[in-house]
Structure 1
Amino acid sequence: MHWQAGPVPKPKQHIAACLPSGLEHSEPGVMERSSGPDPSGKRVAVVAGGNKGIGLEVCRQLASRGVMVILTARDEKRGSEAVEMLHESGLPDVQFHRLDVSDPSGAARLAEFIKEKFGRLDILINNAGVLGATAEIDTTVPIQEVLVGKSAMERLQWLLQRSTESYEEAEECLKINYFGTKYVTEALLPILLSTSDGRLINVSSNYGLLRYFSGENLKQELSDVENLTVERLDEMSELFLKDYKNGQLKSNGWPHDSEYLAYKVSKALINGYTRIMSKKYLELRINSVHPGYCKTDINFDTGEYTAEDGASCIVSVALLPEGGPTGVFFFRTEEAPFV
């Protein structure tokens, strides 16, 4: 999952260490600016899907830079163990809160917790996601022994040859990756807007680039940010699943090859959501980040980069200086086209 989309300009790489300052905002439903119950004045971040892999490394790196981190995960035991591990490594400013991103009521409970505990939110990183496929792997032989000497592309092809996708997995992929991102964002947006320099990072993929769509109409519609709406993205999700079930992906212009079809669509919808939200909320920095093809559980450690390396790309974009780019797709740390 790692193809560069041509030469692109590099964004500023300096990480902002300054704390947020005042903001005037009168939008209905937005919290009044408050320093909150936390007297430390530290920035507060939520990481969805933070108990392992890239998400866990994002939590580690943010906490090591003085950010108060709320690590969320669907599994309470795994999430609590991840927080305990970070505490033992000398990072006390990490707390756990259970979150199933596909459950809007859970996102609402998280929002209430943040308001009561901190009174503010500065950074939201939507990292939770699934691949929408199942791989049949022979675990009697260590995977790394099988993959030794293979390039990243060869390892990816090895995984693809052993992967299958079902309609049920496609449905779950859209529910978690796209709708989960939307549910969490909608629940936490009022708190995020109450800070002076809020950051929203949607962890995406180069598999979400529009080049994977075969139909020009879909490409054009997803590119037309002036007219694209969240309601239309929701409709597209339903249309994709309908066409998937009816075997009409190719005829209606969706990704239709053998590689992670629902995953590609879910990430394309996330990229569209990023662009819509960035135009609507100009006071926030809202961007999509492809951290690279990283070695994580989701791909049986077949990736090219480490989870730590991928997380560093996400964190560097999240901590770019005030007034930085918004509505951008970052290929690792470089601005790149959405196509």
Structure 2
Amino acid sequence: MGDACKYAVVTGANKGIGFETVKQLANSGVTIVLTARDENRGTEATSLLNEQGFSNVVFHQLDVQDAQSIESLAKFVQTQYGRLDILVNNAGASGVVPDEDVLRAMNMDLVDWLPGKTFEYALEVNGWQMIGPVYSISKLSLNAYTRVLARKYPKMCINCVHPGFVNTDITWHTGTMPVEEGAEGSVMLALLPDGGPTGCYFDRTVLAEF
């Protein structure tokens, strides 16, 4: 590359882990296209970062479920930068709208009840989630697809990462970790040098088993 600058796209980046990932990457000198499905929210998030001194962040609308929207972003990146070095595929939705008060109470009941007891949920023992099972299965599929892509494109670093139980909208703010910690894994993997690990699963910043 004749240009030392790296160019990145972060999807679903107007809030939560995505927003913090953009912030940390921008702080490392990466030029970033912050994307969001909602144009107003994405523009507001980008403006906030620009006001904080991150002039290397721009916005482009993206709905990852819309082929025309994806094509529009690809053309923008090609026209503006000529290449893409980093893609952080962060966009996601839980698919449910729970009663947050009930969910928090249920989580607290589990915390109070489980320690010191011999009872275990059979589903959880076998690796299935009691809360948001459809979302969990979709993430499992995406993680498996990571290995497929890594084999198909051996010259790229393609990995997946579990950010931890982070306090964001997608955990209905029951998470115990701040977004600053939740973004650490994504940022670390985004900044891997050429020849770094690929086709791997990381638990935050630590290589783990699938």
Q: TM-score range by the shorter chain?
A: 0.7 to 0.9
The DSSP-based 3-state class of the residue aligned with 1:112 is: helix
2:27 alignment partner in structure 1: 64
Q: Deviations over 1:236-266 (max 9, x none)?
A: xxxxxxxxxxxxxxxxxxx5x6421211110
Q: Is the 8 A contact 1:155 1:302 kept in 2?
A: no
Residue identity matched to 1:128? A
1:16 alignment partner in structure 2: none
CA distance 1:138–1:271, shift in 2 (3 Å): closer
CA distance 1:76–1:155, shift in 2 (3 Å): farther
Give the structure with higher Rg (CA): 1
2:173 alignment partner in structure 1: 301
Matched, 1:288 2:160: yes
Structure 2 regions of 5+ residues with no counterpart? 112-125
Task: Give the C-alpha shift of residue 321 in structure 1.
Answer: 2.8
Residue identity matched to 1:319? L
1:82 alignment partner in structure 2: 45
Structure 1 regions of 5+ residues with no counterpart? 1-20, 22-34, 148-152, 159-210, 213-254
The DSSP-based 3-state class of the residue aligned with 1:63 is: helix
- Compute the TM-score of the two structures, normalised by the length of structure 2: 0.86
Following the alignment from structure 2 to structure 1, what is the Cα–Cα distance between the partners of residues 37 and 58? 14
1:194 alignment partner in structure 2: none
Following the alignment from structure 2 to structure 1, what is the Cα–Cα distance between the partners of residues 184 and 28? 12
Task: Give the C-alpha shift of residue 42 in structure 1.
Answer: 1.3
Following the alignment from structure 2 to structure 1, what is the Cα–Cα distance between the partners of residues 35 and 9? 7
Q: 1:313 aligns with which of 177, 182, 185?
A: 185
Q: Is the 8 A contact 1:155 1:303 kept in 2?
A: no
**Number of matched residues?**
196
Q: Is the 8 A contact 1:50 1:59 kept in 2?
A: yes
Residue identity matched to 2:171? N
1:112 alignment partner in structure 2: 75
Following the alignment from structure 2 to structure 1, what is the Cα–Cα distance between the partners of residues 96 and 191? 33
The DSSP-based 3-state class of the residue aligned with 1:129 is: coil
Task: Give the C-alpha shift of residue 316 in structure 1.
Answer: 0.9
The DSSP-based 3-state class of the residue aligned with 2:35 is: strand
The DSSP-based 3-state class of the residue aligned with 2:88 is: strand
CA distance 1:88–1:157, shift in 2 (3 Å): farther
Task: Give the C-alpha shift of residue 317 in structure 1.
Answer: 1.7
Following the alignment from structure 1 to structure 2, what is the Cα–Cα distance between the partners of residues 276 and 267? 14
Following the alignment from structure 2 to structure 1, what is the Cα–Cα distance between the partners of residues 110 and 98? 12
Q: Is the 8 A contact 1:289 1:330 kept in 2?
A: yes
Following the alignment from structure 1 to structure 2, what is the Cα–Cα distance between the partners of residues 275 and 294? 25
1:326 alignment partner in structure 2: 198
Residue identity matched to 2:172? F
CA distance 1:265–1:119, shift in 2 (3 Å): same
Matched, 1:275 2:179: no
Following the alignment from structure 2 to structure 1, what is the Cα–Cα distance between the partners of residues 26 and 194? 19
Aligned pairs for 1:1-339 (under 5 A) are 21=1, 41-138=4-101, 154-155=107-108, 157=110, 211-212=126-127, 258-338=130-210
Following the alignment from structure 1 to structure 2, what is the Cα–Cα distance between the partners of residues 157 and 123? 39
CA distance 1:274–1:156, shift in 2 (3 Å): farther
Following the alignment from structure 2 to structure 1, what is the Cα–Cα distance between the partners of residues 91 and 108? 23
Task: Give the C-alpha shift of residue 156 in structure 1.
Answer: 9.2
Q: Deviations over 1:249-288 (max 9, x none)?
A: xxxxxx5x64212111101110111000000100000000
1:26 alignment partner in structure 2: none
Q: Is the 8 A contact 2:10 2:35 kept in 1?
A: yes
The DSSP-based 3-state class of the residue aligned with 2:159 is: strand
